Structure 1
Amino acid sequence: MENDLPTTGNISLDDAVKQWLQFDKNPKTIAAVRGLLKEGAVSELQTCFGARMEFGTAGLRAPMGPGVSRMNDLTIIQTTQGFCSYLEGSLPDLKEKGVVIGFDARAHPPSGGSSKRFATLAATVFINRGVPVYLFSDITPTPFVPFTVSHLGLCAGIMVTASHNPKQDNGYKVYWNNGAQIIPPHDKGISTAIEKSLEPWSKSWNTEEAMKNPLLKDPYQDIHSEYFSAIQKHCFHREINQKSEVKIVHTSVHGVGHTFVQAAFKAFDLQPPFAVQEQKDPDPEFPTVKYPNPEEGEGVLTLSFALADKEGATVVLANDPDADRLAVAEKQTSGHWRVFSGNELGALLGWWVFQCWKKQQKAAQLKETVKDVYMLASTVSSKILRAIAIKEGFHFEETLTGFKWMGNRAKELLEQEKTVLFAFEEAIGYMCSPAVLDKDGVSAAAIAGEFISYLATQNTTLSQQLKAIYEEYGYHITKNSYFICHDQKTISQLFERLRNFSGPNTYPKECGGISVTAVRDLTTGFDSSQPSNTAVLPTSKSSQMVTFTFANGGVATMRTSGTEPKIKYYTELCAAPGNSDVEQLKAELDRLVDAIVENFFQPTKNNLIPRSD
């Protein structure tokens, strides 16, 4: 250690802290580390320096603060140096084409960290390697970054955001030159390069000089114009929009979405939605919500409902703080607000996008053109699109969880001259336009606005339309939730127990008296439904994911989250068209879920915290 600082007694920890103090130039994080040393706060130092953040396909996401396990100036520089080195070795035209960098409004005054600061440091690293950088001059939605990669033909994109995570978190999300999030093996390659690039390069801290470099460009105005021009191609009912008197409320939940959703509605000639004033402007403290995640439901939408009741609005739209997700709620005749699940909204938007596409086709050629149409969904999402595809004649594919897989698959299909109309994941993520190969809550909001306006001309509602979709294609009843678990040992024990339920390599054969007809384990690569017992979808030993199919038509997937300390479970019961006994189906699914929690989770439940709404 430095002569004037105490040691912790842990040689490896002391070395990590010593290296940090040699490399770091942020006075706030330096002071914080020195303070912890002086206090002898070994446990906190171990938390900050015990293990470096793991760079994966989701990039980085962690609390802001000092140390290698936190998001801060130094870890951003180290990460970007590794990413830059990897790009230099992978893409020869990097210095010709360049990269784009965007950021949200997050900030952490105690450590001096903010999304804008991190984006500026990342830009500095690239510029000092002779790489052109398109750095947005102001906050943008996450979808703007993949759009810019595709629109300008760049080598990569970085978005500094923690999306809907708690206020102390931040993240570093990476896109490849195809406009989609990175997938293996890029994550491992970048991670290895980061480990080789820990010492800051000579000018990596010199942001002031870099911000004057001619390699730096601001794409804000151009991309703002081009993005809204691109999504206008998905506006099919402009005359209805212009005359619509439907009242809609929008909340950006203290994030970046307000300005951009207002602009999207304008691009579609829709009346501007009423904005929730208390949540309209970006605020990194997220003062009105416990969690800034509209996926959590009514708790996040309380102010939206109050404004809607005041203004006589019947629909609420909500974005998460980086505006790549969309939640929708509708007031029922009973006066109750119905918050649509991600799967229900996937059914509605998927159906609507297909109907709009269908009306643009020549009837005589429809049978042939529809064969080149594709829709995608993650494997834990509802299979309602599959049911629609079977009846309508287009293709449906499922991918691994996460838009990185759907985005990359969509790009492959587009390169084969296929039409990719729609993709979704149950976590309220929707890709309604291939201009953005990722989920996009801005374009989805405008398309939902047009859909709602159209339905009003038919004297119907989203709820009534969803019922009509289920009656035509079969009810798909879903129930998803999660347990919070901070103990990795407990998580491992839970999943290993499932893999060795009645002895070595034996999965459960029944659950609560309901027979298990198939098991797919995407951690080990086992799939009992395949002739070779080998899974078709890619597998990953670094994450847990097991799917059970039951004799009653139920499907349940249990998986760990890549960004949060959660064990998530997803269940669905699919009925054939004509079976409209919804209450009976819901009761049957409830019984299945209760049995899963009792039989599959129970032995480790002492360390599991159920979701609390």
Structure 2
Amino acid sequence: MADKPDISEISQFDKTKLKKTETQEKNTLPTKEIPKKINMENGLESTGDSRLDQAVTQWLLYDKNPKTAAAVRSMVKDKALSELQRCFGARMEFGTAGLRAAMGPGVSCMNDLTIIQTTQGFCAYLEQCFTDLKQRGVVIGFDARAHPPSGGSSKRFACLAASVLISRGVPVYLFSDITPTPYVPFTVSHLGLCAGIMVTASHNPKQDNGYKVYWANGAQIIPPHDKGIAAAIEQNLEPWPESWDTDGALQSSLLNDPYQDIHREYCQTIQQHCFHRELNKNTKVKIVHTSVHGVGHIFVQAAFKAFDLHPPYAVEEQKDPDPEFPTVKYPNPEEGEGVLTLSFALADKEGATVILANDPDADRLAIAEKQKSGQWRVFSGNELGALLGWWMFQCWKQQKVEGKASIKDVYMLSSTVSSKILRAIAVKEGFHFEETLTGFKWMGNRARELMDQGKTVLFAFEEAIGYMCSHAVLDKDGVSAAAIAGEFVSYLASKNITLSHQLRTVYEEYGYHITKNSYFICHNQDTIKRLFDRLRNYDGENSYPKECGGFAITAVRDLTTGYDSNQPDNKAVLPTSKSSQMITFTFANGGVATMRTSGTEPKIKYYTELCAAPGNSDLNQLKAELDNLVDAIVEHFYQPEKNNLTPRPE
């Protein structure tokens, strides 16, 4: 069994430890090689394209990382034009999700120079927005990702970001070691900072990294901040004099390490959601936890300790951070059983009945439970949303505290592509439910607005296994969710009830909500545009489909164009964005299907749900009907063969 961590064991800040360490227009460069030899200013032979030559020259003038600079020189020398075009064809697009791209050389990749340029733009934008930036400061966290070929790593990028901010006199709270993503928004709110930066690519492939930004309200940024930051980046591409000086920054009096204090405060804060401490101490339930080679292990162990739960069994091969993710093809628990193979083996060995799995930056949580048959059931994000939402409401209902909110001031939130089960619970129980656009940036900002109005936000979730169980973190948080799930499981076990049984009870009381979600992979933007344009001009110009494979369509909402047939003026209520594709179809049989593109991956996703009234418990019939609906959507709307779409890997 894993040892209980002790806060005193967490290392003190050692500055020497760190020392070493929406759409822009694409400027597509021509692919034709011009066999003309022109000497470039830096002594390299011309690529044959003046714009590419200029981009390379500017890069080599600015880049002080010997590995990425050497890689660019090598590409020019080898006349690797397609590689150069990939690296310099278009700058990474800064959006509400920040940046997410492969690590490597060039403006299209995550590297030392693009991190400096991004942080300079972000700093300049913060200077415009906050007169007290130099009093309040910014927090920076990082995960364990690294890319030796380019010399890039999350720690290195975090230090460079700190260097840029400190060079402008901005106090920086730089975590001295890896942290879960939720610790950054927690720190912004807890310390009253102007902003936060988290360097992580979450569950993306190992070669990727990312740069995620939080605003002073503790939530991820939403428009117009993304456009403002993107414009400021373009105006601050040349490195400032001290931006590269990480050594100087790490010795600065402006540098603070929040690690110890924030870890302690976080563990203390989440205890407000612990309601069955005595039961937790005596539970016989055995739980396995995996951090999938990410940052979660020590923090989930500490969260369990804060709830007086027995520490979960840790999957030894996956508990320590490893940027190679050696035991999994995809470091994403959302992909299901493939990521949990080692967890199943450990659970079977130890006699554990429940598995908790975080993604590498510990902001998501997957849960699996052993069934009577001996098989493992991996719950979907929507099923866990139903379970955790029900549990959070039960705990709130049973609270007997002074100043407890009226039920009319209680709210739960979910994204528009997630199950509507919370709406069904809210209607019956009397609290408020709201849906937002996809992504926790919208839920976090809406939660903050509601809290500022004196409302209580009990819970928010998205189907991509993201849960906000504590308003102390206005983002998805897999650490607090793991501890709360541990207590929930212990409570159910004390009554001889399983998670699967409780889920069935929830559905029987509030109505079955059957969901089926998946995606196709598509790297061709023209194909994606053509697919969605066809749906908008299905039976002539500006006409959406009226049926799909025999299933009648009763309503259409298009959050790319702002059209909603359900509204009197045909205008959507939720915010719209032309930079991403998203259409929702409502069917006469009670089915709802949303098709959308991903903001961080080359995927066209679909989310489908069939909602039944309480009492309609013919589950097999409901599942069969939803399967038929999904098949029709795939065949008629996606047309995978015609559009050369790759199905989700099994």
TM range (shorter): over 0.9
1:177-233 superposed Cα distances (whole Å, 9 cap, x missing partner): 000000000000000000000000001001101100000000000000000000001
**Does the Cα contact within 8 Å between 2:331 and 2:360 map onto a contact in 1?**
yes
**CA distance in 2 between partners of 1:30 and 1:360 (Å):** 60
Query: Aligned AA for 2:122?
Result: F
Q: From the superposition, tell whether residues 552 and 361 of structure 1 become closer, same or farther in structure 2 (CA, over 3 Å).
A: farther
In structure 2, list runs of 5 or more residues that go unmatched. Answer: 1-39
**Does the Cα contact within 8 Å between 2:597 and 2:603 map onto a contact in 1?**
yes
**Does the Cα contact within 8 Å between 2:414 and 2:435 map onto a contact in 1?**
yes
Equivalent residue, structure 2, for 1:63: 102
Equivalent residue, structure 2, for 1:279: 318
Q: From the superposition, tell whether residues 156 and 3 of structure 1 become closer, same or farther in structure 2 (CA, over 3 Å).
A: closer
Equivalent residue, structure 1, for 2:589: 552
Alpha-carbon offset, residue 7 of structure 1: 1.4
1:567 lines up with 2:581 in the alignment: no
Q: From the superposition, tell whether residues 115 and 359 of structure 1 become closer, same or farther in structure 2 (CA, over 3 Å).
A: same
Q: From the superposition, tell whether residues 315 and 205 of structure 1 become closer, same or farther in structure 2 (CA, over 3 Å).
A: same
Identify which of 433, 446, 449 aligns with 1:409.
Answer: 446
1:399 lines up with 2:426 in the alignment: no
Identify which of 457, 465, 471 aligns with 1:434.
Answer: 471
Three-state SS of the structure 1 residue aligned to 2:486 is helix
Alpha-carbon offset, residue 612 of structure 1: 1.4
1:526 lines up with 2:570 in the alignment: no
1:451 lines up with 2:488 in the alignment: yes
Alpha-carbon offset, residue 607 of structure 1: 2.0
Alpha-carbon offset, residue 514 of structure 1: 1.0
Equivalent residue, structure 1, for 2:285: 246
Alpha-carbon offset, residue 272 of structure 1: 0.3
Query: Aligned AA for 1:294?
Result: P
Equivalent residue, structure 2, for 1:46: 85
**Does the Cα contact within 8 Å between 2:67 and 2:149 map onto a contact in 1?**
yes
Equivalent residue, structure 1, for 2:396: 357
Alpha-carbon offset, residue 602 of structure 1: 1.1
Query: Aligned AA for 1:515?
Result: A
**Does the Cα contact within 8 Å between 1:250 and 1:276 map onto a contact in 2?**
yes
Larger mean CA deviation between 3-12 and 171-180 belongs to 3-12
Tell me the matched-pair count: 611
The residue correspondences of 1:136-285 to structure 2 (distance < 5 A) are 136-285=175-324
Alpha-carbon offset, residue 606 of structure 1: 3.7
The residue correspondences of 1:463-478 to structure 2 (distance < 5 A) are 463-478=500-515
**CA distance in 2 between partners of 1:605 and 1:89 (Å):** 49
The residue correspondences of 1:441-520 to structure 2 (distance < 5 A) are 441-520=478-557
Alpha-carbon offset, residue 14 of structure 1: 1.1
Three-state SS of the structure 2 residue aligned to 1:317 is strand
**CA distance in 2 between partners of 1:588 and 1:198 (Å):** 54
**CA distance in 2 between partners of 1:122 and 1:425 (Å):** 30
1:408-464 superposed Cα distances (whole Å, 9 cap, x missing partner): 000000000100000000000000000000000000000000000000011000000
Alpha-carbon offset, residue 117 of structure 1: 0.1
Three-state SS of the structure 2 residue aligned to 1:299 is helix
Identify which of 116, 133, 137 aligns with 1:77.
Answer: 116
**Does the Cα contact within 8 Å between 1:490 and 1:604 map onto a contact in 2?**
no
**Does the Cα contact within 8 Å between 1:249 and 1:308 map onto a contact in 2?**
yes
**CA distance in 2 between partners of 1:4 and 1:357 (Å):** 69
**Does the Cα contact within 8 Å between 1:73 and 1:118 map onto a contact in 2?**
yes
Alpha-carbon offset, residue 605 of structure 1: 4.0
Three-state SS of the structure 1 residue aligned to 2:518 is strand
Query: Aligned AA for 2:215?
Result: W
Query: Aligned AA for 2:108?
Result: S
Query: Aligned AA for 1:384?
Result: I
Alpha-carbon offset, residue 4 of structure 1: 2.3
Query: Aligned AA for 2:185?
Result: P
**CA distance in 1 between partners of 2:112 and 2:352 (Å):** 44
**Does the Cα contact within 8 Å between 1:487 and 1:607 map onto a contact in 2?**
no
**CA distance in 2 between partners of 1:337 and 1:29 (Å):** 46
**CA distance in 2 between partners of 1:91 and 1:576 (Å):** 50
Equivalent residue, structure 2, for 1:8: 47
Q: From the superposition, tell whether residues 3 and 360 of structure 1 become closer, same or farther in structure 2 (CA, over 3 Å).
A: closer
Identify which of 334, 349, 358 aligns with 1:295.
Answer: 334
Equivalent residue, structure 2, for 1:378: 415
**Does the Cα contact within 8 Å between 2:640 and 2:646 map onto a contact in 1?**
no
Equivalent residue, structure 2, for 1:537: 574
Alpha-carbon offset, residue 604 of structure 1: 6.3
**CA distance in 1 between partners of 2:123 and 2:75 (Å):** 32
1:85-124 superposed Cα distances (whole Å, 9 cap, x missing partner): 0000011110110000000000000000000000000000
**Does the Cα contact within 8 Å between 1:179 and 1:437 map onto a contact in 2?**
yes
Query: Aligned AA for 2:377?
Result: R
Three-state SS of the structure 1 residue aligned to 2:496 is coil
Query: Aligned AA for 1:252?
Result: S
In structure 1, list runs of 5 or more residues that go unmatched. Answer: none
**Does the Cα contact within 8 Å between 2:88 and 2:107 map onto a contact in 1?**
yes
Three-state SS of the structure 2 residue aligned to 1:444 is helix
Alpha-carbon offset, residue 10 of structure 1: 1.2
**Does the Cα contact within 8 Å between 2:188 and 2:194 map onto a contact in 1?**
yes
**CA distance in 1 between partners of 2:47 and 2:227 (Å):** 32
**Does the Cα contact within 8 Å between 1:494 and 1:604 map onto a contact in 2?**
no
TM-score w.r.t. structure 1 length?
0.99
Query: Aligned AA for 2:123?
Result: C
Q: From the superposition, tell whether residues 413 and 533 of structure 1 become closer, same or farther in structure 2 (CA, over 3 Å).
A: same
Three-state SS of the structure 2 residue aligned to 1:134 is strand
1:388 lines up with 2:425 in the alignment: yes
1:511-565 superposed Cα distances (whole Å, 9 cap, x missing partner): 1111100000000000000000000000000000000000000000000000000
**CA distance in 1 between partners of 2:221 and 2:516 (Å):** 30
Query: Aligned AA for 1:88?
Result: E
**CA distance in 2 between partners of 1:407 and 1:547 (Å):** 23
The residue correspondences of 1:323-334 to structure 2 (distance < 5 A) are 323-334=362-373
1:228-279 superposed Cα distances (whole Å, 9 cap, x missing partner): 0000010000010000010000000000000000000000000000000000
Identify which of 630, 636, 645 aligns with 1:593.
Answer: 630
Deviating above 3 A after TM superposition, structure 1's stretches of 4 or more consecutive aligned residues are 603-606
**CA distance in 2 between partners of 1:459 and 1:71 (Å):** 50
TM-score w.r.t. structure 2 length?
0.93
Query: Aligned AA for 1:508?
Result: P
**Does the Cα contact within 8 Å between 2:42 and 2:57 map onto a contact in 1?**
no
